[in-house]
Structure 1
């Protein structure tokens, strides 16, 4: 109501502001404060409508009441405090085998700045093309970089491939520019596929050169572990993603019933 006690023609107190009327818009200064003076006594509420660059909107509505203790109090003071969270940036990669869809563990990616990253004061925090972090994919083929990233532009590229796979030369450009104040976190995800190498093995009749069925074959690594085992058919056998190294091709069981003897190890 009007602070001077004025009344209308019907004798009712004059209303200065209806309930839920917009009384004022305040904008904080460089110290993060804003002041409004000469409000009539009464109950008000404050709500944030613009969070400020790089921050998440605080949706809490704060109520306060201006009440004079007695008629000798010239000014009533009231303060309201708001806190805002800085908007987070999350950059994740998922790595898959392009043939089988299998998730690939141990592939290392690097996160780089695609531009000079500046502070709110315009100072360069990170120079363009600086490597910010390296991280490897986990057992699920995924990684999320741990860096607490300011808003800006970045890029991600594969640093170390998984053995048995071709390198992926694709560069993923990441735009983490601040836009939506209602978003607590900018989440950016990328699925990357790798082409596995192909090791092709044929089992043939030494006389005719035809594919020979029914032989049980193994590929054994240098430590004696069987890494692949199969029974030969009319088609060549393909092993995808076999890591670089020395192996032995061993015939565990020859098709004796068809008149063949075991072949020597290769």
Structure 2
């Protein structure tokens, strides 16, 4: 039967869309038996009345006899064809229940009033109306059925105050037009033309809407996908919201972790899950290819759900919850805490899940990490320190909500000193000069030798004060006795340049020795005695000329040549 009702309803909704029925269908608040849609009734509180063209005064202020053609959508079996319309401000000071107008069933004759409405066979309708007596207790009945035959569904009696009534009516098979008739039965004074006021006639169709549901489970491995060994999570609060965040329904998961929302109208909705406490977080959403077993809500616990039609049943809106993993990073240089270091936390798929920046205590943390393997990598070092390029791996375990502690050490940025060694006169660079760099306590830190251009670069010097001295001078130069004090600042940005100048050593020229002619075979060696040698070295007087020495050498060479020639001849 339900299937037939829904199919008929959908058919009629199509009729509404194409304009064959002009009434608007509107949803009323959720009720215990589903949704009520305001259904196909016109001029329900008798406000649409053409008194000017079809009416005439009934004998008192603001009371009119109006031909049924002037009362939109309503008809009467009164032989005169009139419907008696009362308005606020009438001579009896009787107010309308709704709006400005209401009607009297006992008019200028016994005047049952009716309206014919299109209905869906098999559907369940809820009717509502208000009734009042005029001069005491009046009684009227509501009849519902076909235009040819109606059955009384209720009989009401009221004194001089408005009473409200409602009830249900199931449309029989084949009944596509249903008539509602309000019949005056009796009046307080027995007059057939005085009594039984009616106002605010409403009609609703009751429908069972779509369904949304699934389960909430404990996600032990944090992957956002249900496994057979993962248990259901009972007692979790689940709410159905509209797209403006207004709560429409609320429930909690049962002992197998499931929940269900029924009677949901088509459209966009939100399902909101609430964590049991701060030990838990929601699993990764929409993981894997199987939508039947993956978690749907985002980190805030909200999943958006589209309901395409009244017959829709969406049983895939499930949620995984897992424990709240944390990591804490300590940034140090030795024992000194460093602020401003930035770390990227990535999961096993290399997706960044968090960023951490250390505070003035050198600490930073991230939470909301589901179980799994992670890597922490330094992406920005504190000012003045060298970035630590070695990542650290760590794991988050289900149930352990204590932070994983990681310590990263950094060293200060180092500076450099460039020494230039030059000739004091020419300013030309000198190679092979050896320099030492000493710390403030006198400890030698490094030594360096100048290259062929006269430069020596000393690198990797921590911030501090250094003393530079020349240990060895280049050949031919005297060593500089100058000491230069240099400071490498914190967070050095450029090389510190220093210059040393050396003087050339003055050298006295040595005298050139006299060449001795080579000995020849057969010659009698001439023994040159010390006396002879001394005799040939004459005291130098007068002009300092070498002419005599040159002439004597030439004579010796010529004599030797003659001896050799004669012997060979």
Q: TM-score, normalised by structure 2?
A: 0.24
Structure whose CA Rg is larger:
2
More helix per residue: 2
Q: TM-score, normalised by structure 1?
A: 0.44
